Amino acid sequence: MKTSKNRRWRLGAALLTTACLGLTACAESDRGGSGSDSGSDSGSDSGGGGGGTMVFAGSAEPVTLDPFFASDGESFRVARQIFEGLVGTEPGTANPAPLLAKSWTVSEDALTYEFELEDGVKFHDGTDFDAEAVCANFDRWYNAPESAQSPDLTYYYGSLMRGFATGPNADAAVYESCTPAEGTATVKLAKPFAGFVSALSLPAFSMQSPSALEEFQDDAAENPTTTEYSTAQPTGTGPFMLDAWERGDSVTLKANPDYWGEKASLDSLVFVAIDEPKARADALENGEVDGFDLVGPADIAPLEEAGFQIVNRDPFNILYLGINQAVKPLDDIRVRQAIAHAIDKQKVADASMPEGTKLADEFMPDLVNGWTEDVTKYEYDPDKARDLLEEAGATGTTIEFNYPSGVSRPYMPAPEDTFNVIRSQLEAAGFTIKPTSDRWDPDYLAKIQGTPKHGIHLLGWTGDYNDADNFLGVFFGQKSFEWGFENKELFTALDEARALPTVEEQTPAYEAINEQIMEYLPGIPLAHPVPSLAFAAGVSGFQPSPVQDEVFNTVTIEE
């Protein structure tokens, strides 16, 4: 299948190499035939219905193709095409929805989950997807060898299921057993876990073919991420199958002709890595890719003007201004309130985030259970900020402001700009700011999370699934260098809320905690920047998901 779509390079390069030595000569040459008219010279490929090849650019290569050993977004992006879990998400939300499990029931004590499975589903290698396969997966996870329990391999299983059959955290393990029956799998938990079903929607809990695992995977290998299975034989039930992963180049998937659901319209789907947002935009404009993730805020308008489609995800993240109370005078609530009143969040969002960004009043987005309208809000009021600062006797004190360089995260698209605007606002309200920046990898995080030597800082989080603890617990679950405060009341409240057996009971508890936090004001929630993707005009059918549960089987491309 050889589609040399871009014959125009030939023209361009030929002209360039022969005709022009200087810029002027090039500029004078005829431009005819170039441009973005990719339609006329489209290639020879005309396989099945729809068909075609789509090239999609992410920001990095996947680490591994076995999602059990992955925790990065790019590995998950590929995994979501090849694999499916028992549970998916409702389109456009973070709420769990049936996928390989048609339905499920939960026992009274919230310890037994019975999953009714889709029938007639097969893995790519022909193995039947049945209750035995489900339990084989649960048992594989639970029985991961100690060498594979390291958080750089099995972060999600380890942190959500709290422990494995062996190893230091075996006593804390949530999972107990899985019993297969005709068409149903029954999972027993050792202790209640309200977020269990939600957690199963993560790609780390994808169903993988037991026979392929048996043949090609070795969980006990020194590097289970580089085994035959993890690089060349990932086998799931999804609409795409692996064609080839060429490291440093691309991951090529092909449509699964026997998919049990809506079959992919594309013949093949290629993922490439381009790490700079601007470079991804350039590649799209130049026809080298058909779509990409993580559009830089500055590129949105130009892309739209040039006729490309911008697709926004509902933000499932939070950008905040952290405050380190281990440093004086930041332990004074009045100083923290002064900071809050000094910041014009709208201006901050306008200056450094894409259009459509929502402002934040608490430390989680509104899609998460436990979000509430009723929290203390701190409106922009520089005069009040100045008064509070004076009251605290802190006018003119120098505050160190930490921000990262060399990074763009979905929740923090342009940290330098964000820093710059907030800095001006704080200075206008009477603060003296000492800027400190560190490279994101790994100096910034090491300093913020690993040492007490920082003042106020920019940081954030993208949620994994619908669970308040996945936000609040991560930030405020225990005393940490990042925040530098000791608030027993808050720590206990979060512990108790996490242990509640059902989501229904958790919701009011987390609503109360959100208010408790905003009153205590450990930091300033700033915004939920909207993550955007961009596509060529001929692409349609892409369904954005706040938790990036995006499968390309519905996507079509006009060549």
Partner 1 sequence: MSINLPPISDVPAAETAVMPGEGPGGGLWRGAWRRLRRNPTAIMGAAIIAFFVLVAVFAPLLAPYEPGSAQWSGDVTPTTVPGPDDDHLLGLDRFGSDLYTQLLFGARQSLVYGVVSTAIGLSVGALLGVLAGGLGGWVDTAVMRAVDIMLSVPSLLLAVSIAAVLGQNAYSIMIAIGAAQVPIFARLLRGSMLAQGRTDYVLAANALGIRRRRIVMGHMLPNAIGPTIVQATLNLATAIIEVAALSFLGLGSSDPAVAEWGRMLVAAQDRFEAAPRLALLPGTAIAVTALGFTLFGEALREALDPRNRR
Partner 2 sequence: MLRFVLKRIALMVPVLLGLSVLLFAWVRALPGDPARALLGERANPESIARVTERYGFDEPLLEQYLRYLGALVTGDFGSSIRTGQSVTESFLERFPATVELALAALLFAVLVGIPVGYLAARHQGRPLDTIVMSGSLLGVATPVFFLAILLKLVFADWLHWLPTSLRQDARIDATHLTNFYVLDGLLTREWDAAWDAMVHLVLPGLALGTIPLAIIARITRASVAEVLNEDYVRTAESKGLTRRLISRRHVLRNALLPVVTTIGLQAGLLLSGAVLTETVFAFNGMGEYLFDAIGQRDYPVLQGFILFIALIYALINLLVDLAYGLIDPRVRVS
> Looking only at residues 217 through 256 of this chain, which bind partner 2 when binding is defined by CB under 8 A?
222-226, 246-250, 252
Whose Cβ is closer to partner 2: residue 355's or residue 443's? Answer: 443
Computed from CA positions of residues 5, 3, 63, 139, in that sequence, does the dihedral angle turn out positive or negative?
A: positive
Q: Which stretch binds partner 2 (CB under 8 A): 128-136, 277-285, 310-318, 325-333?
A: 277-285
Give the helix/strand (H/E) hosting 445.
helix 445-450
Q: Does 417 bind partner 1 (CB under 8 A)?
A: yes
Q: Which does 377 bind (CB under 5 to 8 A by kind): partner 1, partner 2, none?
A: none
Whose Cβ is closer to partner 1: residue 350's or residue 374's? Answer: 350
CB of 413 to partner 1, least distance (A): 8
Q: Which does 302 bind (CB under 5 to 8 A by kind): partner 2, partner 1, none?
A: partner 1
**Contact between residue 345 and residue 380 where contact means Cβ atoms under 8 Å apart:** yes
d(CA 524, CA 119): 49
CB of 114 to partner 1, least distance (A): 50
Among positions 45-84, residues that touch partner 2 (CB under 8 A) are: 53, 55, 61, 63-64, 71
Among positions 441-460, residues that touch partner 1 (CB under 8 A) are: 443
Determine which residue in the list 93, 147, 543, 554 makes contact with partner 2, applying CB under 8 A. Answer: 147
Strand partners, 117: 101
**Contact between residue 342 and residue 428 where contact means Cβ atoms under 8 Å apart:** yes
State the CB neighbour count (10 A cutoff) for residue 270.
20
Whose Cβ is closer to partner 2: residue 64's or residue 372's? Answer: 64
**Contact between residue 353 and residue 300 where contact means Cβ atoms under 8 Å apart:** no
Whose Cβ is closer to partner 2: residue 104's or residue 476's? Answer: 476
- Pairing mode, if any, of strands 523-528 and 456-462? unpaired
Determine which residue in the list 34, 103, 105, 346 makes contact with partner 2, applying CB under 8 A. Answer: 34
Phi and psi at residue 135, in whole multiples of 5°? -70, -35
Give the helix/strand (H/E) hosting 13.
helix 8-14
Q: Does 315 bind partner 1 (CB under 8 A)?
A: no
DSSP helix/strand/coil, 274: coil
CA distances from 409 to 294, 425, 530 (A): 8, 23, 11
CB of 255 to partner 2, least distance (A): 15
Buried b vs exposed e over 111-146: b needs ≥16 C-beta within 10 Å?
bbbbbebbeebbbbeebebbbebbbbbbebbbebee
Q: Which stretch binds partner 2 (CB under 8 A): 96-104, 125-133, 267-275, 530-538?
A: 267-275
CB of 439 to partner 1, least distance (A): 6
Q: Which token pair is 314?
A: 């509902």
Count of residues making up the chain = 559
Tell me, residue by residue from 263 to 302, as one string, x for binding to partner 1 by CB under 8 A and - for no binding: --------------xx-----------------xxxxxxx
Distance of CA 190 to the CA centre of its chain: 29
**Contact between residue 402 and residue 437 where contact means Cβ atoms under 8 Å apart:** yes
Give the CA radius of gyration of the chain.
Answer: 25
Among positions 345-364, residues that touch partner 1 (CB under 8 A) are: 347, 350-354
Among positions 394-413, residues that touch partner 2 (CB under 8 A) are: 406
Angle between helices 488-499 and 503-520 (to 10 degrees): 170
Q: Which token pair is 95?
A: 């709420």
CA distances from 87 to 67, 314, 337, 409 (A): 15, 20, 42, 27
Q: Which does 86 bind (CB under 5 to 8 A by kind): partner 2, partner 1, none?
A: none
Among positions 455-484, residues that touch partner 2 (CB under 8 A) are: 459, 461
Whose Cβ is closer to partner 2: residue 406's or residue 508's? Answer: 406
d(CA 514, CA 519): 9
Whose Cβ is closer to partner 1: residue 419's or residue 471's? Answer: 419
Q: Does 38 bind partner 1 (CB under 8 A)?
A: no
**Contact between residue 137 and residue 52 where contact means Cβ atoms under 8 Å apart:** no
CB of 60 to partner 1, least distance (A): 17
CB of 288 to partner 1, least distance (A): 17
Q: Which does 420 bind (CB under 5 to 8 A by kind): partner 2, partner 1, none?
A: partner 1
Among positions 321-360, residues that touch partner 2 (CB under 8 A) are: none
Residue in the structure block whose two tokens are 């979501």:
80
**Contact between residue 104 and residue 112 where contact means Cβ atoms under 8 Å apart:** no
Count of residues that bind partner 2 according to CB under 8 A: 74
CB of 453 to partner 1, least distance (A): 11
Determine which residue in the list 3, 93, 376, 436 makes contact with partner 2, applying CB under 8 A. Answer: 3
Distance of CA 207 to the CA centre of its chain: 20
d(CA 491, CA 159): 18
Among positions 150-179, residues that touch partner 2 (CB under 8 A) are: 150-152, 155, 159
Q: Which does 296 bind (CB under 5 to 8 A by kind): partner 1, partner 2, none?
A: partner 1
CB of 442 to partner 2, least distance (A): 3
Among positions 193-222, residues that touch partner 2 (CB under 8 A) are: 222
Whose Cβ is closer to partner 1: residue 143's or residue 451's? Answer: 451
State the CB neighbour count (10 A cutoff) for residue 87.
22
Phi and psi at residue 17, in whole multiples of 5°? -75, -35
Among positions 514-553, residues that touch partner 2 (CB under 8 A) are: none
Determine which residue in the list 70, 121, 266, 272 makes contact with partner 2, applying CB under 8 A. Answer: 272
The binding site for partner 1 (CB under 8 A) comprises 277-278, 296-302, 347, 350-354, 405-406, 414, 416-417, 419-421, 423-424, 435-439, 443
